[in-house]
Amino acid sequence: MGDSQISALMSPAVWRIVDAAGTVHHSHLTAAQADAFLPLMLAAGHFAGIRSERMDAPAIAENTATPPIAAAMMAEAAISKAMMDIEPGAERSALIDALAAHKRASECVDRAADVVRRAKEMHEARQHEVDVLTAARENDIRAGAANLVDALKSGTAVFRSDRPIDSRALLDAETRRDAAREAVDMLDAEHQAADVAHKKAESAVRLAIMAVKRYAVRGMVERLKDIKREYSALAATVEAAKYSDVPATPEASAALQSPAYSGEATTSAAGRWRRYTELLRDNPALELEDVE
């Protein structure tokens, strides 16, 4: 089973990128590929409300998605481009920096969300104040109308029977309500900006984790090359022994067979990679060998 199959086991290609209108720009992406694409499209600024979501989410516009193979190739190109900022050998440092930035972004978006919540509560309180004063004013209007009706029926001087209605308190309350609503809009915009920054920080963490894992795999590949060279030389020596009065044995024949690995072993290794991915967030110095 190859690297692409292992990746499929670890992260199924069930994600897509859509905009606020529901137009699908890319589909059949893994979570990592979607996270690599998203900050690049956000930075371009040409797509309103761009986001990633699972493909089983309902679409609200015509599907204009890129074909799966092309999308995967484009995603890999985007990932490789995004990783160019990470210097070879500095993957762990990049991950530490990305995790620190992610923590700051998380705190920022949490604070922004809390401020928006309190602003909405204030707006609701001021709206309630307006509602109470509006009801009182309407009662005053109805009472004034009743007095006016009585005056007109009895022939009393109309102007002397009119009750003055003071709307200044209501106008002040409406002004405070409108100010609170404007504050909510301003804080909402700040929260959205913080949320975008948080998503970019999350993408940076995922990219850094991918860089750490790819660096680890490069080391494993070099190790495999050395093992294969050693195996080839040793296998040739054992095979050639039969030409030097050393009879072949069943053990030798079995040892000369190419090594194989089972699907179960690959599935187990994929699970180990998945756990490693999760644990790197808490311990960026962790090595794959330390993961059971």
* 110 shares its domain with 185: yes
Same domain, 113 and 240: yes
pLDDT digits (tens, 9 = 90+) for 244-279: 988 888 898 888 887 777 778 888 888 999 999 999
Local confidence band at 4 (pLDDT 50, 70, 90 cut-offs): very low
Query: According to the model, what pLDDT value does residue 33 have?
Result: 75
Domain end among 84, 106, 139? 84
Q: Please check the confidence at residue 62 and state whether its pLDDT lies above 60.
A: no
pLDDT band for position 163 (cuts 50, 70, 90): low
Q: How much is the pLDDT for 133? A: 94
| 96-105: average pLDDT | 91
Residues 20 and 133 in one domain: no
For 202-227, write each residue's pLDDT tens digit. 888 888 898 999 999 999 999 999 99
The more confident residue out of 88 and 12 is: 88
Structural domains counted in the chain: 3
Asked whether residue 172 falls in the same domain as residue 49, the answer is: no
Amino acid at 140: D
Percent of the chain with pLDDT over 90: 37
Whether residue 125 is predicted with pLDDT greater than 90 in this model: the reply is yes
Is 6's pLDDT higher than 60?
no
pLDDT exceeds 70 at position 234? yes
Mean pLDDT of 182-204: 90
Please determine, for residue 46, whether its predicted confidence score (pLDDT) is greater than 90.
Answer: no
Regarding whether 198 and 99 lie in a shared domain, the answer is yes
pLDDT at 283: 94
Shared domain check, 290 and 154: no
Same domain for 70 and 182? no
Average pLDDT, the chain: 81
pLDDT at 160 (0 to 100): 55
Task: Say if residue 118 is in the same domain as residue 247.
Answer: yes
Segments forming the whole domain that contains residue 130: 88-259
Res 11: pLDDT: 58
The stretch 220-246 carries a mean pLDDT of 91
| Among 84, 99, 119, residue at a domain's last position | 84
- The whole-number pLDDT of residue 184 equals 95
Given this model, what pLDDT does residue 68 score? 55
- At residue 280, does pLDDT exceed 70? yes
Shared domain for 160 and 290, answered yes or no, is: no
226 and 105, same structural domain?
A: yes
Please choose, from the candidates 260, 257, 262, 287, the residue with its C-alpha nearest in 3D space to the C-alpha of residue 275.
Answer: 287
111 and 249 share a domain? yes
Q: What is the pLDDT of residue 3?
A: 46
- pTM, two decimal places: 0.64
Note the residue count of the chain.
292
Packed helices 263-279 and 3-10: angle between N→C axes, nearest 10 degrees: 60
Q: Measure the CA–CA gap between 50 and 191, rounded to whole angstroms.
A: 16
Which of 84, 113, 138 delimits the end of a domain? 84
Asked if the model's pLDDT at residue 36 lies above 60, the reply is: yes
pLDDT, position 275: 93
Domain check: are 116 and 240 in the same one? Answer: yes
pLDDT higher than threshold 80 for residue 56:
no
